[in-house]
Structure 1
Amino acid sequence: MTKKSNVHFQTRERRMSKSSSDMNGDARSSSRSNGAKSPTRATNGSIHKLDEKHERPGFDRTDTSASGWATENEDDDTAAELKKAEAEKKKQNFWTRALWTFIMIGIFFGAMFAGHIYIIIIVTAVQIISFKEVIAISNVPSRARSLRFTKTLNWYFLGTTMYFLYGESVIYYFKHIVLIDRVLLPFATHHRFISFMLYVMGFVFFVASLQKGHYKFQFTQFAWTHMALYLIVVQAHFIMNNIFEGMIWFFLPVSLVITNDIFAYVCGITFGRTQLIKLSPKKTVEGFVGAWICTIILGFALTNLLMKYKYFICPVNDLGANIFTGLECEPNPVFIPRTYQLPFVPHNWTFLPTKVTVSPMQFHIMIMSTFASLIAPFGGFFASGLKRTFNIKDFGDSIPGHGGMTDRMDCQFIMGFFAFMYYQSFIAVYKASVGSVIETAITGLTPEEQMEVVKGLAKHLYNQGQVSIKVLEYLGENLQLHARRR
């Protein structure tokens, strides 16, 4: 095969009409706007040689006169403008994110100090918004958008689940109020049956709404809805119970997760080198371990501060209480300091302390901090995997600059769930309460037996000097009169 010699192209003199020139000018402008490169043109009718280093005509760009062709300077200007616009966008996003961070912090602390009912409202709003976001990412097929009752069923199951869970909490913590009210009593005593029948009605309605050709989509939606209910609503229910048990059991888990997230970022960018998990490429082992240590230290300090205020450590017995009115209760033994003998210090070593006085809560916070650092982040990894599955960056845009509510709460749900289970298993003190006694009397005794209990309690209080003889006589006469009428 013979070697091809260099080819020389001679430019031809072209005559174009004004309209043709304008047309070409528009085409060139379009080419510039699209960033397309144009071949070098010969000017002044000279012969254009191909670059000897290439077998094809060279496409290197040179500056030209007002011919309408893109130049290297123009490309550089365009790139600079793009970088400037991107930097401006990042700056704007940073300030938006910072502003809404302070807004959320202000709302959170304001609600916490205003009273438990306001924190309950916030938790309720969070779980509803998170449920909406998770349901929305299931990518409803276009042909299924015309299906009726799909969204209606999703919200119906949400309402039914919240009715059951909220009812369980209210009945458990406020028995002394609910069970003595004539209107609320039937709903309280039959709450679980009512909740079950509501769910069954939704189940029957779902089966009746199945349409041929859409079975797969409808059953996928049914399963997706129940997964969202479990991962969000059920776990948020236990966070609600933490609030009722005492503000400290709500605030500490939330603070530990936020602290761990902050220090994981700081330690990661400072000395992080080893990738932790592929789902989150920016997470490092060094940041993971460093955040664990920092979270334990801050957990000790924060617990020591919160234990001094009964507003945080007392269970809720008045939903109208706030930081100014406070709460009164007998503190849980876990908050009372104890003296412990150090097992690793010999008794004859007088120059070292052999005993230490500390509240048992400090040991418990070490375990809770460890969970917040080593286990709770996997809730975030789970959310990252879910977003990658559906090829989305965020669950939504509920919070400007932060993405969706679920993006901020992915670790909080599992942490709140753990805090409740740990509290009930190792910290809670189980004893008879006014609500439990009233519940037992109402559900297990006949009206005649209940009156005997009232008279017995009245006599006991009289013997203790708590009530006068008039109260005892009044109850005795009126209860006997009522029994005769029956």
Structure 2
Amino acid sequence: MAPKRASSGPAASPAKSQAGKKKYHNNAENGLATINPPEIVETKPTSAMMEKEKKKQNFIVRTVWTVVMMIGFFVFLAAGHIWIMALVTAVQILTFKEVIALANEPAREKKLPYGKIINWYFLATTIYFLYGESVVYYFKQVVLVDYYLLPFATHHRFISYMLYIIGFMIFVSSLEKGHYKFQFAQFAFTHVTLLLVVVQAHFIMNNIFAGLFWFCLPASLVIINDIFAYLCGITFGRTPLIKISPKKTVEGFVGAWISTIVFGMILSHFLIKWKYMVCPITDFSANAWSGLSCEPNPVFVKQTFAVPSFLAKLVHRTTYEIAPIHFHVMVMASFASLIAPFGGFFASGLKRTFQIKDFGDTIPGHGGITDRMDCQFLMGFFSYMYYDSFIATHHLRVGSVLETAIQSLTLAEQMQLVSSLHKYLYNQGYITEEALECLEKISS
């Protein structure tokens, strides 16, 4: 006798199907047919979906805060030089705070005295010295004639040195047995941070004194380079550039260099048309609506250049008019593309050393201030050195003459100088005889 087939086998399927159809037909005739609702399957979000959503949210936050920072920057820029300097000072202090916090954490664990106080004391002393140097240099005619400011101006460096010595003595007094190596490492870390952050950032302040062009253009070049390094990297990037930053590629590096030069030239073309950008600071109350006027630096004025012979046939001209600043912009754009990024690589190495992703969370979506300013400090320092070496016109200033007269002449010689200057102005017709007599009475 043949074995029975299991009801669940393949042969049973047609019969079961026919029976199911017949049962459904009878129920339909009796009005009893029901349609089962589709079964709802709950799907749990996978890690890939969560990661994608997280990146999306981060991109939105990053974009929003980028727009906020850009608007804020333009508001400060239009408000005037003093507000821009306040912004740079705030960035300077916040960056120092983020970097020095990396070393402060172990110090808190060891409960060492004066650690944090010493760091902030040295910061205040350094800022006092650097800002005082700039104010005395650029505004001698103001500080040297003021009764209260004169002692601070003439003895500024000595006062700054004594303030540093006080901090040095506090540090030595705080040394504790068993922690010498750690405390001296902290001391060295503080001074390196002051050098790389505060000192370099201060030269950005000097750029503002020279004219907002020398502040805006270098900062913009770094931002342009950062944007195009990302775009060229994700589009053409194949070859790794440096081990400390695995995502950086040679293609992105070179593409960003070319793009920064092109867009830097375009940006400078528009900036030099605005006197507010090219005029050096003479009044702290100036802003974008003050109507600043000055004799621009010769690099901002168009000059006639001879076209090289091998290009003359292509462009069909032998001379060309262009402002020399555009040639300088090419140099600065090259530095922003080829050298300034190493400030970012340095910061990446520091973060890897302390095993952190960002220096802080000051800017949502962007990390800390240091994460955005690591290249700017290097660029700002270079811009000042380049400007002072190749562009600045070193004329004799009123402040310099006044400083020489105050510090090098006796009181009698100073009075003689004033009297001689009055007579010169009278002889040239700039003052009347009555005014001369009045001035002579005041001098005597």
In 2, the alpha carbon distance for the partners of 1:457 and 1:240 equals 35
Q: Is the 8 A contact 1:455 1:472 kept in 2?
A: no
Shift of 1:464: 2.1
The CA RMSD over aligned residues, in Å, is 1.8
Give the whole-Å Cα distance in 2 for the aligned partners of 1:329 and 1:414.
29
Structure 1 residue 106 and structure 2 residue 61: aligned? Answer: no
Distance across 2 between alignment mates of 1:255 and 1:193: 38
Contact 1:144 1:214 in 2 (8 A): no
Q: How does 1:233-248 map to 2 (within 5 A)?
A: 233-248=198-213
Counterpart of 1:365 in structure 2 is: 329
Distance 2:76 2:108 in 1: 44
Partner of 1:270: 235
C-alpha separation between the residues in 1 aligned to 2:308 and 2:63?
48
Q: 1:94 to 1:143 in 2, by over 3 A?
A: closer
- Quick check: 1:239–1:420 contact (8 Å CA) kept in 2? yes
Q: Which moved more, 1:296-305 or 1:463-472?
A: 463-472
Indicate the SS of the match to 1:282.
strand
The count of aligned residue pairs is: 405
Matches within 5 A, 1:202-281: 202-281=167-246
Q: Deviations over 1:203-240 (max 9, x none)?
A: 01100110111111111110000010000000011000
Match of 1:328 among 293, 302, 307: 293
Match of 1:353 in 2: 317
Structure 1 residues 337 and 88: alpha-carbon distance in aligned structure 2, compared to 1, 3 A threshold: same
Q: Answer yes or no: is the 8 Å Cα contact 1:133–1:395 preserved in 2.
A: yes
Secondary structure in structure 2 of the residue aligned to 1:140:
helix
SS state of the match for residue 357, structure 1? Answer: strand
Partner of 1:289: 254
Q: Is contact 2:104-2:115 (8 Å) kept?
A: no
Q: Match of 2:100, as an amino acid?
A: I
Structure 2 equivalent of residue 129 of structure 1: 94
Tell whether 2:58 aligns with 1:93: yes
**Alpha-carbon distance between aligned partners in 2 of 1:95 and 1:325, rounded to the nearest angstrom:** 37
Which residue identity does 2:106 align to in structure 1? Answer: P
Residue 426 of structure 2 is aligned to residue 466 of structure 1: no
Shift of 1:126: 0.4
String of CA shifts for 1:383-423, please: whole Å, max 9, x gaps: 11111111111111111111010000000000000000000
Residue 27 of structure 1 aligns with which residue?
none
Q: Is the 8 A contact 1:376 1:415 kept in 2?
A: yes
Tell me: CA distance 1:375–1:83, structure 2 relative to 1, closer, same or farther (3 Å).
Answer: same
- For 2:135 and 2:291, locate their aligned partners in 1 and report how far apart those are by CA, in whole Å: 21
State the match for 2:105 in structure 1: 140
For residue 86 of structure 2, give the secondary structure of its aligned residue in structure 1. helix
**Is the CA contact 1:239–1:416 (under 8 Å) kept in the aligned structure 2?**
yes
Looking at structure 2, the residues matched to 479 and 239 of structure 1 have their Cα atoms a distance apart, in angstroms, of 42
Q: Distance in 1 between matches of 2:184 and 2:242?
A: 32
**In structure 1, what is the equivalent of residue 121 of structure 2?**
156
Give 1:45-60 correspondences, 5 Å limit. none
Measure, in 2, the Cα distance between the counterparts of 1:425 and 1:119: 24
Give the letter for the 2:238 counterpart: R
CA distance in 1, matches of 2:97, 2:430: 54
Q: Which amino acid aligns with 1:455?
A: S
TM-score (norm 1): 0.81
Q: Distance in 1 between matches of 2:441 and 2:223?
A: 61
- Structure 1 counterpart SS, 2:430: coil
From the superposition, tell whether residues 440 and 86 of structure 1 become closer, same or farther in structure 2 (CA, over 3 Å): same
Distance 1:441 1:383, change over 3 A: same
Question: Aligned AA for 1:286?
Answer: E
Q: Distance in 1 between matches of 2:314 and 2:62?
A: 55
The reply on whether 1:390 has 2:351 as its aligned counterpart is no
Equivalent-residue separation in structure 2 for 1:77 and 1:124 (angstroms): 52
**Partners of 1:243 and 1:250 within 8 A in 2:** yes
Question: What SS does the corresponding residue of 2:241 show, helix, strand or coil?
Answer: strand
- Residues 345 and 352, structure 1, Cα contact 8 Å, conserved in 2: no
Q: Deviations over 1:417-458 (max 9, x none)?
A: 000000000000001111111111111111221122212222
Greater CA deviation, 418-427 or 351-360? 351-360
Contact 2:264 2:329 in 1 (8 A): yes
2:369 to 362, 386, 405: 405
Q: Please, which runs of 5 or more residues in structure 2 have no aligned partner?
A: 1-40
Label 1:365 to 1:351 Cα distance change in 2 as closer, same or farther (>3 A): closer
Q: Distance in 2 between matches of 1:140 and 1:218?
A: 13
Looking at structure 2, the residues matched to 350 and 384 of structure 1 have their Cα atoms a distance apart, in angstroms, of 46
Judge which range, 95-104 or 195-204, deviates more. 95-104
Q: Which shifted more, 150-159 or 270-279?
A: 270-279
User: What SS does the aligned partner of 1:318 have?
Assistant: coil
Residue matched to 2:284? 319
Among candidates 386, 391, 406, match of residue 427 of structure 1: 391
Please tell me whether the aligned partners of residues 264 and 287 of structure 1 are also in contact (alpha carbons under 8 angstroms): yes
Q: Which amino acid aligns with 2:235?
A: T
The 1:142/1:220 distance shift into structure 2, 3 A limit, reads: closer
1:195 and 2:160 equivalent?
A: yes
Equivalent position of 1:444 in the other structure: 408
Distance 1:305 1:145 in 2: 55
Report 1 or 2 for greater relative contact order, CA contacts < 8 Å, sequence distance ≥ 6. 2
Distance in 1 (CA, whole Å) between partners of 2:316 and 2:283 is 47
TM-score, with length taken from structure 2: 0.88
Contact 1:292 1:369 in 2 (8 A): yes
**Structure 2 residue corresponding to 1:166, chosen from 98, 114, 131:** 131
**Is the CA contact (8 Å cut-off) linking 2:107 and 2:115 kept in structure 1?**
no
Residue-by-residue CA offset, 1:263-298 (whole Å, 9 max, x unaligned): 111111111111111111111111111111111111
